[in-house]
Amino acid sequence: MKKQSIKQQGPPVQGNPTETPTQNRLNGIDPELIELNQADRVVKPIISYGMAVAIAISVVLNATNTLQGWKRDEAIATLAAKPPPTLVQTPDGNSIQVAPIAHNDRTSKSIKKFVKQSFWGLFNMSGKLIDEKGKLVDDPGRVANQEGQKVTSVAFVTADGVLSPTYQVYFLAELASITPQEIFDEDLDVVATLRFNSVGSPQAISPGHWQVRVVSYLKEKESQYVRKVTILNRNVYVRAIAASDDNPFASTPTERAIAAMTAGRLEIYRIEEF
């Protein structure tokens, strides 16, 4: 029997594809790596070039938004710390706080207040007025129509401040016809007092124009006796006006009251019964 010759083998060459998977594992080589072809040995990038650009843009945008947010928060904090803006001081030294609204816009509250104050000045008839020295004196009245009937001096000044120039003459003539002329008689104690039932909310009819419904009456008294009651239910038409360059100084208490009343830059251009 022939002896089988045993050929001495040297150490196996790593990565020899002729070796079996078992031999490769024994030699410390993973057979899956041996089976990789040449193309698979090239290291492939984890992300594509387009994806990298998109990530870079996203990072830049996030950083920009964060910076803008910081600047916005800082601006808001700075604005909140500033005092509210004011108009130029009035002649008596007071300052008027303002709100950012359109030039022909007014708040409902300011319109209602203007209408109510205007009616007080136009329709309250006491036959007395306060002079420049603050004393209560008899009111001589102002002739307001062709019949020679008068209106109170307060009503005349109020009309000049709150009514449109084209409407003043017509309104004062009508007001004189319902003004009890006895209030200008020094020997009689006659007054006519305005009473409000309601002043409605302003209804916008066009930009800068409103309608306000006033339900009121005029109670005419002599001493303690009621002589007459006149119903004054009126639709009042109001509009915004621009600031004027008129002389802001007023000498009498009535003139100062009218100046304060018209500071909101409103005027009445029509009053109608309903």
Provide the pairing of β-strand 190-199 with 128-130: unpaired
Query: What CATH number is given for 108-273 in this structure?
Result: 3.10.450
Give the pLDDT confidence of 61-115 residue by residue, as tens digits: 666 666 666 666 666 666 556 655 555 566 666 666 666 667 788 899 999 999 9
Task: Name residue 191's beta-bridge partners.
Answer: 221
- Asked whether 184 and 153 are in contact (CB, 8 A), the reply is no
In terms of DSSP H, where are the helices of 82-164? 108-123, 153-162
CA distance 138 to 132: 13
Q: What band does 269 get if pLDDT is binned at 50, 70 and 90?
A: very high
Return the residue matching tokens 């984890």. 46
Entry field: residues in the chain: 274
C-alpha distance from residue 79 to each of 72, 180, 186 (Å): 10, 57, 60
What is the pLDDT at residue 254? 72
Give the pLDDT confidence of 35-66 residue by residue, as tens digits: 544 545 555 555 566 666 666 666 656 666 66
Spatial CA neighbour of 261 closest among 139, 98, 137, 119: 119
What is the pLDDT at residue 134? 80
pLDDT at 178 over 90: yes
In terms of DSSP H, where are the helices of 124-219? 153-162, 165-178
Worst-scoring range by mean pLDDT, 36-45, 122-131, 220-229?
A: 36-45
Spatial CA neighbour of 144 closest among 117, 112, 169, 118: 169
What is the pLDDT at residue 72? 67
Give the pLDDT confidence of 240-261 residue by residue, as tens digits: 998 765 555 566 777 777 777 7
What is the pLDDT at residue 232? 96
Give the pLDDT confidence of 135-151 residue by residue, as tens digits: 889 999 999 999 999 99
- Which residue type is seen at 253? P
On the CB side of 32, CA atoms within 13 Å amount to 0
CA distance 112 to 238: 10
* Domain positions in the chain: 108-273
Which has more confidence, 13 or 256?
Answer: 256
In terms of DSSP H, where are the helices of the chain? 21-26, 31-34, 49-81, 108-123, 153-162, 165-178, 253-261
Both structure tokens of 253: 């208490």
